[in-house]
A and B are shown apart, each in its own frame.
Chain A
Amino acid sequence: MNKIIKKTQLSSDVFQLRVAAPLIAEERKPGQFVILQLDNEFGERIPLTIADADQKAGSITLIFQVVGKTTRRLAALKEGENIVSILGPLGQPTHIEKVGTVVCVGGGIGVAPLHPIAQGMKQAGNRVIIIMGARTKDLIILEKEMRVIADELILCTDDGSAGRKCLVTEPLKELCQREPKPNLAVAIGPPIMMKFCAATTRPFAVPTVVSLNTIMVDGTGMCGGCRVTVGDKTRFVCVDGPEFDGHLVDFDNMMQRLSAYKDLEKDAHHKCRMEMEIKKLKATTP
């Protein structure tokens, strides 16, 4: 049982929860994640990155976007209520060292897991350039927090409602063309964004780390459901990752695997909507 201490809505469908989890707060390092569950009988287990932690308060911060049944239920929980199961911290921590200049690229909700990494990179003495992208202005999260860390921050939106009107790959390419070019890129966001970030840095041979968020069940290496192809090897994201060399990840295979249950989810979503409609009807008809 983990109590929700504070709940904040960051954008229309993005929420931030501060949750009591003293042991996880004590052990966690940037880059690690938890698996949570809202109902031990029939609930599903979903991975969420730990965005931040407060050892003294014994709490961790989770940031998530409402995309399916579990995240919708999670968003409906109130302060003081409990999350039944949280397992963590899982995965390998980010390898943080002083390399020189690090470009951190965050797309949409990916800015949340990127935040502790950017922080760590800065603390290690790196020059940190942050590129943040979102579809539109309202979906930008953690801008203030990121500005505190960044030596340089580039904001982009698809519709130009804030910052530059472009995809994150555009400034990323410009940075790679600069002399000296960055020593490392870290890209976290939707798979398609990470794929194109890796494609952008590849010709410049800028090492690029990506953080993968695959389907998971146990999160301890027991099931292999989270596996991805990296180079010509199969790796388990939950124990070997979540971070991998972006130039070696087979993103197409990963995206296909992510969509394994899409049809079923649509069914469930549809059913859920129907039920809500029916409830509404029932409530309005005397």
Chain B
Amino acid sequence: MSHPTPEELNAKAHAALAQLEPRITQLKPKDRLAIPVQEMPAQDPHVRRHNIQEVAVGYTAEQARAEALRCLQCKNAPCIAGCPVRINIPAFIQAIVDGDYQKSVDIIKEASLLPAVCGRVCPQEEQCQKPCTVGKALKDCNQSVSIGRLERFVSDWEREQGKIKIPTVKLETGKKVAIIGCGPAGITVAADVRREGHAVTIFEAFHRPGGVMLYGIPEFRLPKVIVQQEVATLEKMGVKIQTNFAVGRTRKLLDLIKKDGYDAIFVGVGAGLPKFMNIPGENLVGVFSANEYLTRANLMRAYDFERADTPIFRSNKVAVLGGGNVAMDATRMAIRLGAQEVHLVYRRTEVEMPARIEEVAHAKEEGAIFHLLQNAKRIIGDDKGRVTGMECLRYELGEPDASGRRRPVEVKGSEFIMDVDTVIVAIGNDSNPLIRQTTPGLEHNKWGNIITDDAQKTSLDAVYAGGDIVLGAATVILAMGQGRTAAAAINKLLAEKMTQPAGR
């Protein structure tokens, strides 16, 4: 099967529209359901294996229109209920049909702060597109309206126009808020709190803002200019960003209130503690956490062999352990960094993989070799301590476990050796203990996640938290959703403080 070019896909959309336009005002649901799903134009897999540029290139205007016309404008709009931040989906899609892209973006931005990001990385098939009436009618979730692609289309349009609106900021209130961590959660709180006129400073440990969007999710899936744009918007609103500042080390969390006079704090420090397998050989040279591998490649730009000072391991045969988005990103990055073979090793089957369907498909197209129902038992090294192989075990699916997924059980005596020189461990993240260890009284659960109430308030006065540090490794949209809730609570708290008589 040859890879369809963007031109071919646009021609298809053009043809579909040509049929519809004469009776565009009288389209019946039947007609809409008959419009084929508009495929996302993407770089040819043989080409993109060797570059770092974005894989999906985005809908053309005609494709967007054709896709938008598939929406039935359901009265009950089940898609909205599936969206964690309740974007008015039918309304923004209708605006695309009407050709009013600005209105479309405005509708999305009422609910979501990072549409260009979410349109790219949200697991739509698990969220808005899952209950979509079109998908249900066609008995296939993959046939649902491509809400995410449309969201991306209009937000890209806005950026390309150079028309990103800077939200208006109310008069300065004299209150100040500290935000710890500049990932999607922190960015969202910063924008919502700043709008009310409070002074906002974001403290970020790394030298550049963006969180996982910058150091974890690779350029080929989320171009960094998009993240930079969002951060630039914040700065234009007057948000201060203090990089190279690790709260808990550079300053203790509560000192921000006691010594520096902040009125409220939001903790959005992400998950950020890589899990390892705890198997023999895991500290050999050539074994990496996905966090390390991806941070070197993304944030430190090690993919740019010529210019970057940060080195990255040159591999021939790589094994990636895991089945989530992180594993797919590591796999696809290793391919781009020139590995001859990249083997993805996952304990369960493809159905159970937590990665987005699109990512799994892309990884396969790019040549990743999947080993399902297998797992690493031991990593083997030579006398220099470098990886030379990995002993694996085969598994079969047994009884369902507590999560309802069938539990993989090992097949006795099924050990075999996989010939690899690099192993990337991508089995998830626990929560980073830095803040909790240096902040007495900040309650957390047994996994180290900070405990909050429904308004995202922690056990400490005026301290709120959200995103992965509360949810465990989750998603951009959920981090953003919690950020919005926290911001509302912080704004309320500060409004109350301001109406109290002075001196109290």
Once A and B bind, how many residue pairs between them come within 8 Å at the CB atom?
Answer: 121
Among A42, A88, A264, the most chain B Cβ lie within 10 Å of the Cβ of A42
Distance A224 CA – B284 CA, assembled complex (angstroms): 12
Complex partner residue of B432 from A42, A43, A44, A221, CB under 8 angstroms: A221
Residue B62 is within 8 A (CB to CB) of chain A in the complex = no
Contact A239 B434 (CB under 8 A): yes
Contact A217 B300 (CB under 8 A): yes
Complex partner residue of B300 from A44, A85, A220, CB under 8 angstroms: A44
Minimum Cβ distance to chain A for residue B378 (Å): 15
Q: Give chain A residues whose Cβ lies under 8 Å from the Cβ of B208.
A: 40
Complex partner residue of A87 from B205, B285, B286, B385, CB under 8 angstroms: B205
Residue B276 is within 8 A (CB to CB) of chain A in the complex = yes
Contact A221 B433 (CB under 8 A): yes
Contact A27 B295 (CB under 8 A): no
Q: Give chain B residues whose Cβ lies under 8 Å from the Cβ of A264.
A: 311, 314
Q: Give chain B residues whose Cβ lies under 8 Å from the Cβ of A70.
A: 309
Residue B44 is within 8 A (CB to CB) of chain A in the complex = no
Q: Give chain A residues whose Cβ lies under 8 Å from the Cβ of B282.
A: 234
Complex partner residue of A220 from B272, B283, B296, B310, CB under 8 angstroms: B272
Main secondary structure of the interface of B (DSSP, over half): loop
Contact B249 A217 (CB under 8 A): no
Minimum Cβ distance to chain A for residue B428 (Å): 13
Contact B432 A220 (CB under 8 A): yes
| B205 nearest in chain A by CB position | A220
Q: Give chain A residues whose Cβ lies under 8 Å from the Cβ of B445.
A: none
Residue B384 is within 8 A (CB to CB) of chain A in the complex = yes
Contact B249 A45 (CB under 8 A): no
Interface residues of B in 306-337 (CB under 8 A from A): 307-311, 313-314
User: Which of A6-14, A113-121, A173-181, A250-258 lines the interface with chain B?
Assistant: A250-258
Contact A44 B289 (CB under 8 A): no
| B314 nearest in chain A by CB position | A264
Interface residues of B in 244-292 (CB under 8 A from A): 244-246, 249-251, 272-274, 276, 278, 282-286, 288-289, 291-292
Residue A145 is within 8 A (CB to CB) of chain B in the complex = no
Residue B39 is within 8 A (CB to CB) of chain A in the complex = no
Contact A224 B300 (CB under 8 A): no
Interface residues of A in 172-190 (CB under 8 A from B): none
Distance A41 CA – B276 CA, assembled complex (angstroms): 29
Contact A256 B432 (CB under 8 A): no
Contact A223 B310 (CB under 8 A): no
A67-97 interface bits toward B, Cβ cutoff 8 Å, 1 = contact, 0 = none: 0011000000000000011111110000000
Q: Give chain B residues whose Cβ lies under 8 Å from the Cβ of A58.
A: none
Among B245, B272, B307, B310, the most chain A Cβ lie within 10 Å of the Cβ of B310
Contact A85 B285 (CB under 8 A): no
A235-266 interface bits toward B, Cβ cutoff 8 Å, 1 = contact, 0 = none: 00001000000000010110011011100110
Chain A interface category by residue count: 35 or more
Distance A239 CA – B249 CA, assembled complex (angstroms): 10
Residue B304 is within 8 A (CB to CB) of chain A in the complex = yes
Distance A221 CA – B296 CA, assembled complex (angstroms): 15
Complex partner residue of A27 from B206, B250, B284, B296, CB under 8 angstroms: B250
Given known contacts A42-B307, A253-B385, is B285 in contact with A259 (CB within 8 Å)? yes
User: Which of A102-110, A203-211, A225-233 lines the interface with chain B?
Assistant: A225-233
Q: Give chain A residues whose Cβ lies under 8 Å from the Cβ of B284.
A: 253, 256
Residue A158 is within 8 A (CB to CB) of chain B in the complex = no
Contact B307 A27 (CB under 8 A): no
Contact B300 A45 (CB under 8 A): yes
B328-368 interface bits toward A, Cβ cutoff 8 Å, 1 = contact, 0 = none: 00000000000000000000000000000000000000000
Residue B12 is within 8 A (CB to CB) of chain A in the complex = no
Residue A57 is within 8 A (CB to CB) of chain B in the complex = no
Among B249, B272, B296, the most chain A Cβ lie within 10 Å of the Cβ of B249
Q: Give chain A residues whose Cβ lies under 8 Å from the Cβ of B295.
A: 217-218, 222-223
Q: Give chain A residues whose Cβ lies under 8 Å from the Cβ of B309.
A: 39, 42-44, 69-70, 268
Given known contacts A42-B309, A45-B310, A253-B283, is B246 in contact with A220 (CB within 8 Å)? yes
Contact A23 B250 (CB under 8 A): yes
Distance A70 CA – B308 CA, assembled complex (angstroms): 11
Contact B301 A222 (CB under 8 A): no
Contact B205 A218 (CB under 8 A): yes
Minimum Cβ distance to chain B for residue A223 (Å): 4
Given known contacts A44-B310, A90-B246, A259-B285, is B205 in contact with A223 (CB within 8 Å)? no
Q: Give chain B residues whose Cβ lies under 8 Å from the Cβ of A69.
A: 309
Q: Give chain B residues whose Cβ lies under 8 Å from the Cβ of A225.
A: 288-289, 292
Complex partner residue of B250 from A24, A218, A257, CB under 8 angstroms: A24
Q: Give chain B residues whose Cβ lies under 8 Å from the Cβ of A86.
A: 244
Q: Give chain A residues whose Cβ lies under 8 Å from the Cβ of B311.
A: 44, 261, 264-265, 268
Q: Give chain B residues whose Cβ lies under 8 Å from the Cβ of A268.
A: 309, 311
Residue B446 is within 8 A (CB to CB) of chain A in the complex = no
Contact A23 B251 (CB under 8 A): yes
Contact A252 B308 (CB under 8 A): no
Contact A40 B207 (CB under 8 A): yes
Residue A55 is within 8 A (CB to CB) of chain B in the complex = no
**Closest 4 pairs between A and B when the two form their complex, measured CB to CB:** A256-B385, A223-B292, A44-B309, A261-B311
Question: A-side interface residues toward B, CB under 8 Å?
Answer: 23-24, 27, 37, 39-45, 69-70, 84-90, 217-225, 227-229, 234, 239, 250, 252-253, 256-257, 259-261, 264-265, 268
- 28 A–B contacts from the bound complex (CB under 8 Å): A23-B245, A23-B250, A27-B251, A42-B310, A44-B300, A44-B308, A44-B311, A45-B300, A69-B309, A70-B309, A85-B243, A85-B244, A86-B244, A88-B249, A88-B250, A89-B250, A217-B296, A221-B433, A221-B434, A222-B272, A223-B274, A224-B291, A228-B283, A253-B385, A256-B284, A259-B285, A261-B311, A264-B311
